[in-house]
Structure 1
Amino acid sequence: MFWINDAQLDDEQKAAVRQIPLDTSFLLTGPAGSGKTNVLLLRARWLRAKSLSDFRIIVFTSSLRDFIRTGAAQYGVPPDAVVTAHQFFRDFLSDYGQKFEATGNFEQDRSMLAGQVNSLIISKNISDIYPALLIDEGQDYTDTELLVFRKLTPRLMIACDTRQSIYRQTVTHEIISSIVENTVVELKYHYRTGLKICTVADKILIDSKNFPSIRDHCKYDEKAKPSSLEINDCSSFDMQIELIISKLSKQVDLYGDALIGVLFPKKEQQVAFAAALEYDATIGRKETIRVNTLHGSKGWEYQAVHIGGCEALSRMGGVQKRLIYTGILRARTSVNIYHTGHIPGYLEGAFSSILPPKRDPDLSELFGD
């Protein structure tokens, strides 16, 4: 999860922390599990060692903020330096005596907040008031948000993986590199996720030109801990909940203190499962279980992942493939998918890539039941 000492870093990761000149802004790219967030935190620690302590580490969600704060404390970075973009922008407005009136609509509020901050910067000619800003999950920000970050600091570091862009309003890819003068540092290899899981992920985002394979650069030890994926077809959502809980009762003992993620496409699915888990008496240790939406799980990592309610994926619009892609890559070793009725064909096809070939059906079988 978070590194213990420098022996755990490969040469590319070490170079990203130490060998980029102090005053250089850069884009850090790499697949899930390549260590981008760890490098970002270590770069922050390196900035402190250079007496540049008034930086901010900016993340997209409060869930991810809480996760990264645990790593910040481990690396000697003040946890309060890790903030959400929403809070960062609101605090900035407050410093200049301005308030933001939210409407409750996420996309609308996000656009209005960034626009108000940008207008304030222009009207008061504000620039470079933070010695450094370090942005995690940079692919999830809009052009306006990233341009605001650029105006507020001479040292901008952006960690990014466009394969995990899961929001409708996201950055134009040309801008994300141009605002750091096209200085790009690539982390090629990843170590977290099992080979079978990577194989399925590649089949979900099958466009190899725009979404490079992660299986080809996988350094996970498949022999020591074989990875697994399973699709569970359930008669109802209640049956999904029951099956997930039955699997969790075994995994919490098997994996010890390692975290287990239970994720859902929709908030109401998450709430229903969390209520069932709270009243369940079969699981002795629940403190390692994290229940979240697929959006909210961004940036987290788990030993095992359960993704329920996948029949809802088809209603998630154009981001659905990247959403389930991101969800399964939260796991190290085990992924279980649950659905009632049909799941999208791309997901079923991706899972079939790790199964033995099926026999040709008889003609009579093509007519159904």
Structure 2
Amino acid sequence: MYVAVKGGEKAIANAHALLAKRGQGSTDAPRIDYPQIRNQMGVLVSRVMAEGSLYDPELAAKALLQAQGDVLEAVTLLRSYRTTLPRFGVTIAVDTVGLPSERRVSATFKDIPGGQQLGATFDYTHRLLADELHTPEVATPDVPIDEPMPRVTDLLGADALIERDRPDAGWTDPDPGDLTREPTVFPMSRAERLQALTRGDEGFLLSLGYSTQRGFGNNHPFAGEVRVGEVEVEFHAPEIGHAVPIGRIELTECQMVNQFVGSADQAPQFTRGYGLVFGRAERKAMSMSLVDRTLRHQEFGERIVSPAQDEEFVIAHADNVEAAGFVEHLKLPHYVDFQAELGLIRSLRREFQERHPAEASEAPAADNSTRMEANA
């Protein structure tokens, strides 16, 4: 028998109470607080900030604690809070050219101006579970991490081996649209695409970026440069008349160098893929730069042969808040919709049985004792 869930508001209140109890865990174990999450789970906090589109490590840590570690739920909480904040204006574009890097590596040249800075990375760890965590002493770096380091792509640009980062000397970067305030319209500008990608789900972009390297996107990448460091943010205050610094934020920037064999009107050269993400998020920035280059197929006359090259497919499905909401809403009551489809299927089955009486006579009889009857 089908029994409808009853209780209404009381059942929902009890579900909330049970959720809070599960979140507390064992009463014998010490409670963790959001400062511990912020300080010891920086990579996770960075992901929530990037996909939540709000740079605030403290709020991201609080969201993770409230969401019991559910990243998508934490991202949803952060985005919901973001919509309540007043908007005072737009900051000046951050200068990542001189980004003082805690970590800066390149897979294209061994010896680069300023040197390779390994920084904090899992790249060279053994990936073995440790019995207990310990913090070894860190040696003083040979090169000060605050020393500006020129971009690796500038080395290729000096010999015209890579596309320019801007079309010509007189070109100015137009103000991009704001995807959080304006509806998405396809086709998008590259700046709008990058906005969507930096807010996109890391796992989704990682899978798409991986697909482009396996032949589904014609992508032959080299990690030109990956940087992690803090950059100063400035805001132009009209009442003051000049820009004032309002703080520093940690960013991860990636420039991919991609092979391009040329076309009828373009010489063979390397092309660029770009990624910029809040916090320490190298995998996300690299995946973003791979997908960014793949979505630039029209600029280079490349055919669309894979999902990663389809702008609407990528952008429309990269937002994990929208995706999670649409998938998880399937858990909520759809009684009326199902009644309609149930009636339709029964009607179609009767028509089929009338057209094929022999097959209908061979079909097993329904077990009325276990048949689920839905109440209107």
TM-score, reference length from structure 1: 0.21
TM-score, reference length from structure 2: 0.21
Rg (Cα) greater in structure: 2
Structure with more helix by fraction: 1
